[in-house]
Structure 1
Amino acid sequence: MPKYLQKRRRRWYAVLDIPKALRPALGGHARFVESLKTESLTEAERKVPQVIGQWKALIEAVRRGDPAPLADHQATALAWREQLDSITDEEEREGVESVMVELAKERDRTTPGQGTAMFKLATRQWEQTDELLEDWLATLDNEAKTIDMKRSDVLRFSQRFRLTKDVGRQAVLDWVDHLLHEERLSPATVRRIVSACRGYWAFLQRRGSAAGTGDPFSKAVPPAPRKKTKAQLAAQRKAFTPEQVVVLLEAAETKGDTPLLRLIWLAMWTGCRIEELCSLRLSHVLADRLQIEDAKSEAGWREVPVHSRLLPLVHELSATSRDGYLLSDLSTNKYGDRSNAIGKRFGHLKTAQGFGRDYVFHSIRKTVATQLEAAGVQESVSARILGHEVPTMTYGLYSGGVPFQVKREAFEIIDYPGVTFAVSS
């Protein structure tokens, strides 16, 4: 008998066994069977490869959790659902459902499991995992970049679990194990993915679209070790020495990258983050201070004294700005981030000077913090300057802050031996 063919009452049928492990996801059937509507063996042999190919693609899709080959029946099911939702008369609804049952049975005869899935999706006995994703994202108060990352994380989850009924404690644990050991994602990345999925799952439960009240994601990922490993310590961001900052400054000057030269100069005399400097508007630049009001935390909202070595550049940039920002004409990415492109240029610059991945733009901020500590500046004063949480309850919770004059005097300690020029015309 030719492969994948079976003769029944003079007609030829295509047949393909379904792997046992995948049968529950395909309606519980042991095999696919479909009439080729011919009595000719030659015609049957011509038709059967296409049918078998579709079935094998479906099996592989279920094995991988890839919903793409199932899109046709999902689209049909959602169209049925829309039709049912528009019917207010109960008797009419029952009549339409009975028709759908027959259509589903017909689909099951050709592709076992698809008809059942279509009907259960249409009648909301089953819910697609990603169906309310955009509704959930709309409730979040996150930046656009974070929203996109959470969308990507949940879509990864929904590719593994197409239906909410497939999500269970052991299934989630197996998925996490797959992410860690098969896809070789870092534990930190997996914790981020699981955190997004956990938030989305809680939303589905509140909306009644996920079965049960338990949390299948609880403790699914091993917690981050309290003690850092040698590899983590080696990869930790390091501070530039003042001399190394000067090397970078001179490299930017030699390269003729004036915007990057100015950015480094601003960072080395303020200790600000790259995002804070690139998004700083002229309305927040005063004669003797910079008002940082777009920081990552409440403590980051602060006034930074303008160092005496920085004053000429601040005055020049303020007078020549063409777009209302202290650093003019920086390009933006799709999230409106003005630091992205120039930050990459800094990455190329420091790599060319021999600095590895443990040195980043943030390392200049560490340089400033190191100088303040070495000079004996009180931690509470340094924290107010750099925008860190004040470490004690007395100063952090009850203090009204450090007088600006104290911060300015402390900041004048910052120095870079070997700087032979000022970055201003």
Structure 2
Amino acid sequence: MPRKPDPEMAYLTVHDGLYRVSMGVPKELRSQLGSRLVKSTGTKSKGQAKIARDRIVPEFKKKIEDAWKARGGKRGSLLAEALETRKLLETASDDLADFMIKGALERSDEILDEGATWVDEPTPDGVFPVRRPTPEAVKAVTEFRRVLAGDTPIAFHHQAFVDGLKIKPRSKLDEPRALSILLDWLEANDIEPFIENINKRNAIRFLDWLDADTNLSWASKAKYFGRIKFYWSWLARREYAKENPFADLNLDKPETERADDERPYTDAEVQKLLMGSPMEGDRMRDVMMIAALTGARLDAVIDLKVGGLFDGYFTFKAQKKERDVRDVPVHPDLDEIVARRIAGKAPEDDLFPEWPGPPSTSVKPRSSYFSKRYTKYTSDIGVRDEEVGRRRSKINFHSWRRWFITKLERARVREPLIAAIVGHKRPGMTLGLYSGGPEFLEAQEAIALVKLPPLDGSPVVEERSLMPRRRS
């Protein structure tokens, strides 16, 4: 018989040693809010976490309630009723329309009656009872009448918009986050979440707030603002909105945050990472080694199958703008890892079964859990390069790829060959379109030129870089 959940621990989970509050989101709202609302309590104390939970849970419930409202209400709700009535009015005959409008007015009176108080007020004709409805009822009726008159909740068309996007499922996760940011701002500024309320003035106010008053990095601000702009472009094209007030608005990129500030690992950092003792042991170290000596991206490494190792080369799945799988010769220093990991396994078996992916219903990549553990490992041993206001460290797992490319360049390997090995677009029509690619043996010899720093603790002598931007 399954154990009953502890009511005292409702909504509380533990992540990386800290309690956090987690609440599931109704399926209909996941295009707006994602699958779960999660917020860390910032404490390891159960008692303190329960206090924080009692504050966070009402916030989450309010967020879900507002999301229903922005979508058009729950099935059977007042907003949903108003939208359904408006839809029927569009094709109703004059007599039916008059009947439906009369019914809507009666429905408004019913709402105003709920919880209302009656007071006797004198008039020239005598004393008569006057209804004093609650503020909540007045607000509900105002929204009801606005929807009947033609106003549309902002999220009403959002699911159709998301469904029609030709992008990867993981990228679609940015859509509910972006919409949630806008809805939160509207709520904070007491602006009803209707498409018709987003005029040029409010669009500029939202942009100014997003730029100045949020803790997001510039890249995240630009991404989310771009998704809102694209949604409104979609609405305007279908005449669900009169115009796109975000069309000519953009976030200015600060000069202090440059994408090319991210850098390769130094040899000393590589030595420290490979000689360290991650909690995961070889299952993390083997991934680092393959990334270091192939230049492959994390997801391509984690997703390797035993059958993707034949005749001395890895076959990595296509990533980014690659059109097909990519073969990369096995570096001699990886022979032991490869032999150990393929022993006794079938071709369809995972090379890294220790790193399972998220549930099948999730759109996150299989490498997402490794990525979190790797970030913790690099933080624990101090291999980070962080600046205030930056979204992430200047060095991260992608720095293995940068280190590998740097080593190939310093070994005097031709640029077109480097591009072919790491899956970058090769320059020009001649090599990029017509060539069948470099010779496998040449790539094998080039990769063997990449040398790891000593892994016995010997001092590392860093090679001097020509690029000034790499200086500390």
Shorter-chain TM-score bucket reads 0.7 to 0.9
Inter-partner Cα distance in structure 2 for 1:107 and 1:337: 48
Q: What does residue 99 of structure 1 align with?
A: 103
Indicate how the Cα distance of structure 1 residues 256 and 113 shifts in structure 2: closer, same or farther if over 3 A, else same.
Answer: closer
Q: Does the alignment pair 1:355 with 2:359?
A: no
Inter-partner Cα distance in structure 2 for 1:103 and 1:202: 35
1:254-303 residue CA offsets vs partner (Å, 9 max, x unmatched): x5612012111211211111111001223332222112223122268421
* Equivalent residues of 1:251, 1:349 under 8 A apart: no
Given candidates 221, 228, 251, the residue that maps to 2:276 is 251
Inter-partner Cα distance in structure 2 for 1:354 and 1:385: 31
Indicate how the Cα distance of structure 1 residues 223 and 130 shifts in structure 2: closer, same or farther if over 3 A, else same.
Answer: same
Q: What does residue 136 of structure 1 align with?
A: 161
Given candidates 406, 431, 437, the residue that maps to 1:370 is 406
1:25-54 residue CA offsets vs partner (Å, 9 max, x unmatched): xxxxxxxxxxxxxxxxxxxxxxxxxxxxxx
Inter-partner Cα distance in structure 1 for 2:158 and 2:341: 44
- How many percent of aligned residue pairs carry the same amino acid? 22
Q: What does residue 120 of structure 1 align with?
A: 146
Q: Which runs of 5+ in 2 are unaligned?
A: 1-61, 113-131, 187-191, 385-392, 458-472
* Equivalent residues of 1:369, 1:382 under 8 A apart: yes
Indicate how the Cα distance of structure 1 residues 248 and 96 shifts in structure 2: closer, same or farther if over 3 A, else same.
Answer: same
Q: What does residue 181 of structure 1 align with?
A: 212
* Equivalent residues of 2:178, 2:224 under 8 A apart: yes
SS in structure 2 opposite 1:208?
A: coil
Indicate how the Cα distance of structure 1 residues 252 and 338 shifts in structure 2: closer, same or farther if over 3 A, else same.
Answer: farther
One-letter identity of the residue aligned with 2:292: M
Q: What does residue 389 of structure 1 align with?
A: 425
Q: Which runs of 5+ in 1 are unaligned?
A: 1-60
After alignment, is 391-400 or 107-116 more displaced? 107-116
Instruction: After TM superposition, give the deviation of residue 372 of structure 1 in Å.
Output: 0.5
Inter-partner Cα distance in structure 2 for 1:301 and 1:217: 39
When the two structures are aligned, how many residues end up with a matched partner?
A: 350
Q: What does residue 442 of structure 2 align with?
A: 406
One-letter identity of the residue aligned with 2:454: G
SS in structure 1 opposite 2:229?
A: helix
One-letter identity of the residue aligned with 1:96: M
Instruction: After TM superposition, give the deviation of residue 221 of structure 1 in Å.
Output: 2.2
SS in structure 2 opposite 1:402?
A: coil
User: Structure 2 matches for 1:332-343, cutoff 5 A?
Assistant: 332-333=357-358, 334-343=362-371
Indicate how the Cα distance of structure 1 residues 320 and 86 shifts in structure 2: closer, same or farther if over 3 A, else same.
Answer: farther
One-letter identity of the residue aligned with 1:118: F
Inter-partner Cα distance in structure 1 for 2:307 and 2:237: 44
Inter-partner Cα distance in structure 2 for 1:299 and 1:369: 21
Indicate how the Cα distance of structure 1 residues 67 and 338 shifts in structure 2: closer, same or farther if over 3 A, else same.
Answer: closer
* Equivalent residues of 1:243, 1:416 under 8 A apart: no
Larger of the two Rg values belongs to structure = 1
* Equivalent residues of 2:274, 2:285 under 8 A apart: yes
Greater helix content: 1
Given candidates 193, 198, 205, the residue that maps to 1:167 is 198
Indicate how the Cα distance of structure 1 residues 187 and 105 shifts in structure 2: closer, same or farther if over 3 A, else same.
Answer: farther
Q: What does residue 246 of structure 2 align with?
A: 217
Given candidates 248, 257, 261, the residue that maps to 1:236 is 261
SS in structure 1 opposite 2:327?
A: strand
* Equivalent residues of 2:291, 2:400 under 8 A apart: yes
Q: Does the alignment pair 1:273 with 2:302?
A: no
1:208-260 residue CA offsets vs partner (Å, 9 max, x unmatched): 32123xx32124223436xx43x648x9322223343233112137x561201
Q: What does residue 120 of structure 2 align with?
A: none
Q: What does residue 55 of structure 1 align with?
A: none
SS in structure 1 opposite 2:173?
A: helix
Inter-partner Cα distance in structure 1 for 2:373 and 2:250: 36
Indicate how the Cα distance of structure 1 residues 267 and 77 shifts in structure 2: closer, same or farther if over 3 A, else same.
Answer: closer
Calculate the TM-score normalised by the size of structure 2.
Answer: 0.66
Calculate the TM-score normalised by the size of structure 1.
Answer: 0.73
Q: What does residue 78 of structure 2 align with?
A: 76
RMSD across aligned positions (CA): 3.2
Instruction: After TM superposition, give the deviation of residue 89 of structure 1 in Å.
Output: 5.0
Inter-partner Cα distance in structure 2 for 1:310 and 1:366: 19
